A = this chain, B = another copy of it.
């Protein structure tokens, strides 16, 4: 998925950061202009340049141009449902031990952000099996994952996870559906002994109901956390936390499958 060339070519996705710190993810198209409220840039000018270069807009604004990281790209996926934030994506990886070679069950596919993040990390020998009850989510995610070069590491499946899945000995289940407790039994059957459950839920009542289902269904070592991210504005003599912050995204529940 990662290309080692840092030279920008026609057709590449690029991240543009304007002088006023606005961020855009754009596809380079020779001969086209890209317009912002700080003026436009000629796309032809960035072709052949290196990631990290700066280009002046027609009004003289300095635009930084980068080859995007996987997280840059995920943050720009069309958001039709609740987004999973980088702080939460990262925490899921850290607590689950998901990495290269892992086999992961995911539901629901949703916008595909979490699916793509996980698919990138299990490469090249692991697999993500991602389920969604809406065929349009599956179709839309398929297009995005192909564009990200991640389609070979993921299988998108249309279906209701609570009805059971045809998987065994998976390393981890990552559940981001409104009623995670409906996935508890399916995941227990699919997980390897000692395998990890992770679910995300915005409300505390979802968390309580998920805990009870896990506790009754052969899981142990249950935990629930939430992460608060504070942006710090750093400038000598004027350093302070940002005045506005995201107050909440989701609670993260983890557990492990036990065996009899």
| A residues apposed to B, CB below 8 Å | 2, 4, 6, 17, 49-54, 64, 66-67, 69-72, 86-87, 89-97, 99-102, 117, 120-125, 169, 171, 192-196, 202-205, 207-208, 211-212, 220-249, 251, 253, 256-259
In the complex formed, the residue of B with least CB distance to A241 is: B248
Q: Return A190 CB to nearest CB of chain B, in Å.
A: 13
In the complex formed, the residue of B with least CB distance to A226 is: B230
User: Which residues in B have their C-beta under 8 angstroms from that of A53?
Assistant: 193, 258-259
In the complex formed, the residue of B with least CB distance to A14 is: B194
User: Which residues in B have their C-beta under 8 angstroms from that of A71?
Assistant: 94-97
User: Which residues in B have their C-beta under 8 angstroms from that of A204?
Assistant: 204, 232, 239-240
Q: Return A149 CB to nearest CB of chain B, in Å.
A: 12
Known: A204-B204, A243-B247; 18 extra A-B contacts, CB below 8 A, are: A2-B101, A50-B194, A52-B195, A54-B258, A67-B194, A90-B90, A91-B91, A93-B93, A99-B120, A203-B237, A207-B232, A208-B235, A225-B232, A226-B229, A228-B230, A243-B246, A243-B248, A243-B249
CA distance A41 to B248 in the complex (A): 37
Q: Is the CB of B100 within 8 A of A227?
A: no
Given contacts A121-B121, A169-B4, A225-B230, contact A205 B51 (CB under 8 A): no
Q: Return A88 CB to nearest CB of chain B, in Å.
A: 8
Given contacts A240-B203, A257-B52, contact A69 B169 (CB under 8 A): no
Q: List 29 A-B contacts (CB under 8 A).
A: A50-B259, A51-B259, A52-B195, A52-B256, A52-B257, A54-B220, A67-B194, A70-B97, A71-B94, A86-B94, A87-B87, A87-B94, A94-B117, A100-B123, A101-B123, A124-B124, A203-B239, A204-B240, A205-B237, A205-B239, A208-B235, A224-B231, A225-B230, A225-B231, A227-B228, A228-B230, A230-B247, A242-B248, A243-B249
